[in-house]
Amino acid sequence: MFPILSAYLYQEKKITIPGIGRFELIPVNAATGFETVEAPGWEIRFTENQAAESNENPEGLFTLLGSKEAISRDESRIQFEEFARNILVKLNDQEIIEWENVGVLEKPDALIVFTPRALPLSPFTGIAAQKVLREHAAHPVLIGEKETSLGAAKEQLQELQTGKNKSKKTTWIVLAAVIVIATLFFLKNGCSLQSAANQQQVPVQKPEPTYKQP
């Protein structure tokens, strides 16, 4: 019965198994990578509900089962419920149930665990892709956590470089001014000291005689 239930799940996007829970197909958008674009598809999501009943499914499910098994709709409902009870018994006995093209069911403890099939459910395949940067076109780029255009990023970089150049230029101007002022100061003070030293005269003192003539 699993192949019929799989076909129904893929067509109607949801199905409820009595005593087990609900299976749904959830759409997954295309994922863009660095040089690849993953195809859109579907993922199977399971919600455990041990109180789930067969009447949560539309009558179309039992009509489909009846047509495949050549039995009435009521008989197909009974057969479907018995099939679900057998699955639950196996799960309680720690058996692993493999639902072909859907996933794996197991019950390691009090909860039922569902592992969906690894392959994405999509009629498409991923493709290789490379971003083309055209001249004179605005391309979005990510700087930190902020998205901006490539042109705006270049302008910000140029402004940053210009600011650094201005800062360096100002530093050199200030340094040169300090050197000039210091040079003038030392030259002026040096000349004044030298002039003062040349103009100062030291008086010559004559020693007193050590003896007197008679």
Overall pTM > 0.75: no
Name the nearest CA neighbour of 93 among 80, 104, 108: 108
Q: Are residues 93 and 172 in the same domain?
A: no
- For residues 117 and 8, the model is more confident at 8
Q: Name the residue range of residue 173's domain.
A: 148-198
| 193: confidence class by pLDDT, cuts 50, 70, 90 | very low
Cα–Cα distance, 75 to 150 (Å, whole number) = 66
Cα–Cα distance, 161 to 164 (Å, whole number) = 5
- Burial classification of residue 99, based on how many CB atoms lie within 10 Å of its CB (0-12 exposed, 13-18 middle, 19 or more buried): buried
Q: How many domains does the chain have?
A: 2
| Residues 55, 15 contacting (CB under 8 angstroms) | no
Q: Are strands 31-32 and 36-38 parallel, antiparallel or unpaired?
A: antiparallel
Residue 142, classed as helix, strand or coil, is strand
Q: Are residues 95 and 159 in the same domain?
A: no
Say yes or no to pLDDT of 114 above 90.
yes
| 106: confidence class by pLDDT, cuts 50, 70, 90 | very high
Average pLDDT over every residue of 20-43: 76
Q: Are residues 52 and 109 in the same domain?
A: yes
Q: Are strands 127-128 and 36-38 parallel, antiparallel or unpaired?
A: antiparallel
Please give the distance of CA 201 from its chain centroid, rounded to a whole number: 87
143 domain-assigned: no
Of 73, 96, 128, the one marking the end of a domain is 128
Q: Are residues 31 and 75 in the same domain?
A: yes
Return the half-sphere exposure (C-beta side, CA atoms, 13 A cut-off) of residue 181: 6
